[in-house]
Amino acid sequence: MTPIEFRRTIHRNPELSFVEHKTAEFIEASLAAEGISCRRVADTGVVAKIEGRGDLTRAVVLRADIDALPIVEATGLEYSSVNEGVMHACGHDVHAAVLFGTLQRLNAERDFEGTVFGVFQPGEECNPGGASKVLAENPFAGYNVVAVIGNHTDSGLEVGQIGVCEGPFMASNDELRLYVRGRGGHGAMRDKIDDTVAAAANIIARLNCLNEDELVLSIGKVQAEGATNIIPDLVYMEGTMRTFDQQLREHIWGEIAAVAADVDSYFGTTTQVDISHGYPSVVNNVELTDIVRGLAAERFEAVELDRRYTAEDFGFYTVQYPSVFYRLGVGSAAGRSHTSTFAPDERAIAVGVDFMSELTLRVKIGL
């Protein structure tokens, strides 16, 4: 099976986070056909292993995510999704195909030192993130992991371009849920109510003031089931928080609670603050980034990227192991990811396989 055939099969049969059962079965069968050993991880994930020569405890881990999104596909491709309302609209099918093709090549040549693991990871698109579930099983126990390597499609880059960013690259993400409770009632009877709507508005305004160069905090959902003359007992809010600095991240958790408590003391409300701690920031190892940059400049085209406030659960790997996450150009004609018409240029798969294969060999030598 070619990587493009592999990709099209996965694209045609997308599955949502943590229910990638048929996807995992297909991956297992495809690896078995290549003579590559594998096993399940995190229930619907698959870990492949290829042993080279020399010190087999020295390992490189290659990672691709495999979950899809709840989007109705409108690409018109002959291999469009057959699962209504589910689509590979973020390029995970391309990531998986690149990893499969890389494992194919490395397994056929076996010209490397140590061990290569390939992780087809479930559940990247939602908290708590499949990476955390993979690592909770400690699948690389007994190995000296010298690098974890991942990539992501990018329609801001043309085919043949590799995007790199040293150090902090992608932000942490936390989900905020706030419940503002008080005595609701007639809006004209101010002395007999606790104005939950005004309290919520004050919380939003004050949280917005916390934004700075290193922090993004946004409230994107507000539900107040009142009326023109009715203040509700409850106002519910949801939002997101992004940062690159773990100390700042933890500090702001406390600031959010302090803002809510201060507003409550003024309005007589009671606010419950729930923070769902999501992915840590993706921080690229300096030495590994240099190898990526050098290889990209030599074989293709290296493009320096700025930090971005989008998040990726690859951050869990960067906390635990030396890691690097780069962007794979799929062409501006692909359109925007997370939309119903996202269609990466499949020529990027060959570029991705060539790059990841050679990067794996260089990392084994370079560290």
For the domain made up of 3-171+281-366, give the CATH fold.
Answer: Aminopeptidase (3.40.630)
Pairwise CA distance, residues 286 & 166, whole Å: 6
Residue boundaries of the structural domains of the chain = 3-171+281-366, 172-275
The predicted-structure confidence for 205-244, as pLDDT tens digits, reads as follows 999 999 999 999 999 999 999 999 999 999 999 999 999 9
Pairwise CA distance, residues 253 & 132, whole Å: 21
User: Mean pLDDT across the stretch 243-249?
Assistant: 96
Q: How far is CA 328 from the centre of its chain?
A: 15
The encoded tokens of residue 39 equal 């096993």
pTM (predicted TM-score) = 0.94
Domains 3-171+281-366 and 172-275 agree in fold: no
CATH class of 172-275: alpha beta
Q: Are strands 167-170 and 282-284 parallel, antiparallel or unpaired?
A: antiparallel
β-strand partners of 61: 117, 148
β-strand partners of 243: 172, 215
The predicted-structure confidence for 164-193, as pLDDT tens digits, reads as follows 999 999 999 999 999 999 999 999 999 999
The reported pLDDT for the residue numbered 367 is: 45
The predicted-structure confidence for 40-56, as pLDDT tens digits, reads as follows 999 999 999 999 999 99
| DSSP H or E segment with residue 259 | helix 246-267
